[in-house]
């Protein structure tokens, strides 16, 4: 096979990694577990030669046959009545969870207050779940595993799943309510077979499925509070509402466990005048509000549950009342609001990606409103255990909206993390970073899960220390050219986005003299020079490494002409600027709209037409723009070059088209 063919295979494999996100998985734990379960080797000296040794051989064989691992306990798990964990033993947990490893290949974790009985045999392990919940991680190709319950059985070969028993209110009998049990199964990897009611069903990765008695839950009876969620459907004066978050509970709340409302879909109707009896007139304003609701609308509501399973609106907010009254914006304005919201939210996530939780690498596309930013995912590095997305790797290539994480603070109130908000504030479009994100609420937003140590430091404003942690480069001095992205207002540093690499590097002036108390400080001339620089211009920076990148000289690279035109591709964009790589060999330049009018209070501002035109453009679009130089490169007019990139790429309708398109590749570079 020629090298060309191997190269094709190699590039195909690398594209699967880079674009399809099929990154090498971390198999350390599995490998170490399998290594720990390796069989004993038979030793030669255990086989004596004489005939009488036959009995010895037999005995030796009995002694030394492949030792099947005994159950191993860990955590807060106990054997009921004492004794060893063996077949027939009952294992239970109290307030904390614990786990048991069966046969070396079944890792079973019991949640708090759960109970199982060990059954089965070697390589066909089985447990009888009598109470609570178990999470199971089963190695492939080691043996079978079954979870048996009174409701049904779950059998697997190599997968991860959870099984829990739910106590539900059953029918009344002889004046007493029976407890009816339901079985809930959720598969995290692979698939399981669930036997319930004499039928067998294969369940794959996805949300929890419940088998068994349905009914209301005492935990939510008497709930009264504020929730956030999404409208699922609207029907005859009520609507189905999926709760993402319980923001707060009111004083009148009687629900035992309000948090169990999260993730549930409930019917919500209007408040009734005489709500205690469940009769009486529905509040008209609430009915009007409900009529205006649309499916997939995300809203915050105040609701309560007097009894049964239905909820009622408690109070509407000021905006909701205005909307219900019809005193809101005109239809045209409302359309614009929705368009703007849709634009900010970004495209809706497909169902296979909802519930994603993991670590990704990508680039900040643009900063958005309300402390959010758009982030284009280049790679999915890791997927966390609580991930619910069916195809997490399909996130690669998507641009998603990311917001600060929501956390419960004191008094049970939910707030966005201040640290995340500070971090988002410092982000720049075009910045490449690694993020831990998850989609927990609705089909639009991702929340930041955790910031790395460096990200937290940056958010806290310890940015000045960042350079100290940078590794010394191989070259200790040089000259670079790039776009001046940012500078300190006191002239203490500049940040330059270097040509070609896209790397953003910070440069500081040299330190002159000794300690500050002895008159030492940053090079005054350089500080003064930095103060005069105007950001977004291209600059040439001569630098030297002395613990940090030190700027020795900086020169603004102004264009020769005062005006011109350029055609090229948008490589980065922000709210009111774009970076364009011209066709051919020219460098990337950043363009902003002109400032028209004077001070903002006198009506001055950025050229609205150009701002509007820039908002319509996307990363990767080809554009032609006219510019002038006025301290910075300013866009006077911009036009998207739509459709075909080059004339010769025009598709034809006959069979020759295939060959023609293939031929174009010769010119691809």
Stretch in the footprint of other proteins (CB under 8 A) among 6-14, 171-179, 329-337, 586-594:
6-14
Residue length, the chain?
A: 669
CA pair distance 114, 128, nearest whole angstrom = 11
Q: Helix %, strand %, coil % for the chain, to 5? A: 20, 40, 35
Contact present, 100 and 108 (Cβ < 8 Å): yes
Give the tokens for residue 507: 């440069």
Pairwise CA distance, residues 564 & 474, whole Å: 39
Contact 281, 270 (CB under 8 A): no
Closest CA to 159 of 187, 180, 131, 197: 187
**228, 249 Cβ separation under 8 angstroms:** no
Is 7 among the residues that bind other proteins (CB under 8 A)?
A: yes
CA distance 402 to 358: 13
Interacting residues with other proteins between 122 and 141 (CB under 8 A):
140-141
Q: Give the residue, chosen from 3, 66, 202, 410, that forms a contact with other proteins under the rule CB under 8 A.
A: 3
Q: Among 396, 435, 566, 578, indicate the residue that binds other proteins (CB under 8 A).
A: 396
Which 3 state secondary structure label does DSSP give 186?
A: strand
Please choose, from the candidates 191, 182, 188, 71, the residue with its C-alpha nearest in 3D space to the C-alpha of residue 120.
71
Compare residues 174 and 665 and give the one whose CB is closer to other proteins. 665
Tell me the closest approach of the beta carbon of residue 381 to other proteins, in angstroms: 12
Residue span binding other proteins (CB under 8 A) among the ranges 19-27, 276-284, 298-306, 466-474: 19-27
CA distance 433 to 451: 11
Closest CB to other proteins among 358 and 491?
358
Q: Which of these segments, 5-13, 127-135, 259-267, 491-499, binds other proteins (CB under 8 A)?
A: 5-13
- Work out whether 397 is an interface residue with other proteins (CB under 8 A): yes
Element (H, E) at 470: none
Contact of 244 with 442, CB cutoff 8 Å: yes
532 binds other proteins (CB under 8 A): no
What backbone phi and psi angles, to 5 degrees, belong to 226? -110, 130
Structure tokens at 257: 């466990």
The token duo for 232 is 């699922």
Identify which of 82, 143, 139, 89 has the alpha carbon closest to the alpha carbon of residue 117: 89
The reply on whether position 49 binds other proteins by CB under 8 A is: no
When asked if residue 12 is in the footprint of other proteins (CB under 8 A), the reply is yes
Residue closer to other proteins, measured from CB, 44 or 236: 44
Question: By C-beta, is 19 or 124 nearer to other proteins?
Answer: 19
> Closest CB to other proteins among 238 and 393?
393
**How many Cα atoms occupy the beta-carbon half-sphere of 648 within 13 Å?**
10
Q: Which stretch binds other proteins (CB under 8 A): 35-43, 164-172, 583-591, 623-631?
A: 35-43
- What is the three-class DSSP state of 465? helix
Does the protein bind other proteins through residue 104 (CB under 8 A)?
Answer: no
Only segment of 25-33, 430-438, 443-451, 540-548 that touches other proteins (CB under 8 A): 25-33
561 forms part of the interface with other proteins (CB under 8 A): no
Binding of residue 499 to other proteins (CB under 8 A): no
Binding region for other proteins (CB under 8 A) out of 75-83, 248-256, 394-402, 508-516: 394-402
Least Cβ distance, residue 504 to other proteins (angstroms): 17
To other proteins, the closest distance from the beta carbon of 10 in angstroms equals 5
Between 12 and 276, whose beta carbon lies closer to other proteins?
12
432 part of the interface to other proteins, by CB under 8 A: no
Neighbours of 614 (CB within 10 A): 24
Minimum CB distance to other proteins, residue 20 (Å): 4
Cβ 500 to other proteins, closest distance in Å? 9
If one asks whether residue 36 binds other proteins (CB under 8 A), the answer comes out as yes
| The one among 16, 472, 553, 596 contacting other proteins by CB under 8 A | 16
Residue 24 contacts other proteins per CB under 8 A: yes
| Nearest to other proteins of 76, 498 (CB atom) | 498
Which residue lies nearer to other proteins by CB, 31 or 596?
31
Query: Would you count residue 67 as binding other proteins (CB under 8 A)?
Result: no
Binding of other proteins at residue 348 (CB under 8 A)? no
Per DSSP, which regions of 430-469 are E strands?
Answer: 432-438, 445-450
* Residue spans of alpha helices (H) in 2-143: 3-18, 28-36, 53-64
Q: Determine the number of helices (DSSP H) and then strands (DSSP E) in the chain.
A: 12, 41
Helix axes 418-425, 453-460, angle to 10 degrees: 80
Report whether 574 contacts 591 (CB < 8 A). Answer: no
Q: Where do the H-state alpha helices sit in 262-369?
A: 284-291, 318-325, 331-345
Any contact of residue 201 with other proteins (CB under 8 A)? no
- Could you say which residues in the range 140-159 bind other proteins, by CB under 8 A? 140-141
- Quick check: helix, strand or coil at residue 618? coil
* CA-wise closest residue to 469 among 560, 384, 549: 549
Within 166-185, which residues bind other proteins (CB under 8 A)?
none
Contact between 30 and other proteins by CB under 8 A: the answer reads yes
42 contributes a contact to other proteins by CB under 8 A: no
- Binding-site size for other proteins (CB under 8 A) equals 54
| Nearest to other proteins of 15, 563 (CB atom) | 15
626's tokens: 């006219």
**Angle of CA points 276, 266, 173, to nearest 5°:** 70
Question: Given the rule CB under 8 A, which of 17-25, 174-182, 229-237, 584-592 is the region that contacts other proteins?
Answer: 17-25
- Minimum Å gap between C-beta 425 and other proteins is 29
Token pair for 205: 């990765």
**Binding pattern for the stretch 633-662 against other proteins, x by CB under 8 A and - elsewhere:** ------------xx--x-x-x-x-xxx-xx
What is d(CA 6, CA 37) in angstroms, rounded to the nearest whole number? 37
* Cα separation, 357 vs 438, whole angstroms: 4
Helix (H) or strand (E) holding 217: none
Among residues 22, 195, 310, 624, the one that binds other proteins under rule CB under 8 A: 22
**From residue 579 to residue 608, what is the string marking binding to other proteins with x (rule CB under 8 A)?**
------------------------------
The nearest distance, CB 168 to other proteins, in angstroms, is: 38
Select 28 or 95, whichever has its Cβ closest to other proteins: 28
161 phi and psi angles, rounded to 5 deg: -160, 165
Q: Which CB sits closer to other proteins, 20 or 112?
A: 20
Asked if 360 and 381 count as a contact pair (C-beta separation under 8 A), the reply is yes
The residues of the shown chain that bind other proteins, judged by CB under 8 A, are: 1, 3-4, 6-22, 24-28, 30-32, 34-36, 38, 140-141, 394, 396-397, 620, 622, 645-646, 649, 651, 653, 655, 657-659, 661-662, 665-666, 668-669
């Amino acid at each position: 096979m020629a090298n060309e063919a191997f190269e094709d295979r190699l590039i195909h494999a690398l594209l699967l990694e880079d674009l399809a996100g099929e990154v090498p998985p971390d198999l350390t734990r599995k490998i170490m577990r399998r290594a720990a379960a390796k069989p004993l080797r038979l030793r030669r000296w255990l086989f004596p030669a004489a005939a009488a040794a036959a009995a010895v051989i037999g005995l030796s064989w009995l002694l030394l046959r492949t030792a099947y691992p005994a159950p191993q306990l860990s955590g807060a798990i106990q054997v009921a009545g004492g004794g060893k964990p063996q077949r027939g033993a009952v294992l239970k947990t109290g307030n904390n969870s614990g786990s048991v490893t069966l046969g070396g290949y079944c890792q079973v974790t019991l949640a708090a207050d759960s109970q199982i009985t060990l059954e089965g045999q070697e390589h066909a392990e089985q447990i009888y779940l009598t109470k609570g919940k178990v999470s199971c991680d089963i190695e492939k190709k080691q043996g079978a595993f079954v979870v048996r319950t009174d409701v049904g059985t779950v059998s697997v070969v190599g997968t991860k799943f959870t099984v829990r028993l739910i106590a539900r209110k059953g029918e009344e009998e002889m004046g007493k309510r029976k407890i009816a049990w339901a079985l809930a199964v959720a598969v995290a990897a692979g698939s399981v077979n669930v036997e319930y009611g004499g039928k067998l069903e294969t369940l794959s990765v996805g949300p929890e499925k419940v088998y068994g008695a349905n009914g209301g839950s005492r935990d939510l009876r008497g709930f009264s509070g504020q929730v956030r969620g999404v409208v699922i459907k609207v029907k005859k004066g009520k609507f189905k509402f999926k709760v993402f978050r319980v923001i707060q509970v009111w004083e009148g709340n009687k629900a035992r466990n309000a948090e169990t409302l999260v993730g549930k879909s409930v019917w919500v109707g209007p408040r009734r005048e005489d709500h205690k009896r469940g009769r009486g007139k529905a509040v008209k304003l609430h009915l009007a509000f409900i009529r205006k609701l649309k499916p997939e609308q995300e809203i915050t509501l105040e609701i309560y549950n007097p009894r049964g399973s239905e909820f009622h609106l408690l109070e509407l907010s000021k905006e909701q009342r205005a909307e219900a009254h019809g005193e809101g914006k005109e239809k045209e304005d409302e359309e614009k609001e929705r368009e703007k919201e849709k634009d900010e939210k970004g495209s809706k996530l497909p169902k296979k990606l909802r519930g994603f939780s993991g670590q990704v690498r990508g680039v900040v596309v643009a900063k958005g409103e309300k402390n959010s930013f758009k982030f284009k995912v280049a790679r999915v590095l890791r997927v966390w255990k609580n991930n619910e997305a069916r195809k997490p790797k399909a996130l690669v290539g998507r641009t998603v909206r990311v917001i600060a994480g929501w956390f419960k603070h004191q008094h049970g109130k939910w707030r966005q993390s201040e640290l995340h908000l500070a971090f988002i504030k410092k982000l720049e479009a075009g910045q490449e970073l690694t993020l831990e994100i998850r989609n927990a609420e609705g089909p639009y937003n991702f929340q930041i899960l955790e910031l790395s140590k460096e990200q937290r430091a940056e958010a806290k404003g310890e940015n000045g220390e960042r350079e100290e942690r940078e590794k010394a480069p191989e070259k200790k001095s040089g000259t670079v050219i790039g776009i001046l992205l940012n500078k300190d207002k006191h002239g203490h540093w500049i940040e330059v986005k270097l040509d070609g690499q896209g790397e953003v590097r910070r440069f500081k002036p040299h330190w002159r003299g000794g300690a500050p108390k002895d008159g030492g400080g940053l090079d005054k001339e350089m500080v003064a020079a930095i103060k005069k620089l105007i950001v977004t211009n291209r600059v040439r920076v001569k630098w030297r490494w002395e613990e940090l990148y030190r700027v020795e000289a900086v020169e603004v690279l102004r264009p020769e002409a005062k005006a011109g035109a350029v055609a090229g591709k948008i490589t980065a964009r922000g709210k009111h600027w774009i970076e364009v790589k011209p066709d051919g060999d020219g460098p990337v330049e950043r363009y902003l709209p002109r400032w028209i009018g004077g001070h903002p209070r006198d009506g001055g501002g950025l050229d609205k037409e150009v701002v509007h035109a820039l908002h319509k453009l996307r990363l990767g679009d080809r554009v032609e723009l006219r510019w002038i130089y006025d301290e910075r490169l300013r866009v006077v007019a911009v036009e998207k070059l739509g459709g075909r990139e080059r004339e010769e790429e025009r598709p034809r309708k006959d069979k020759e088209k295939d060959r023609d398109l293939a031929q174009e590749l010769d010119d691809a570079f």
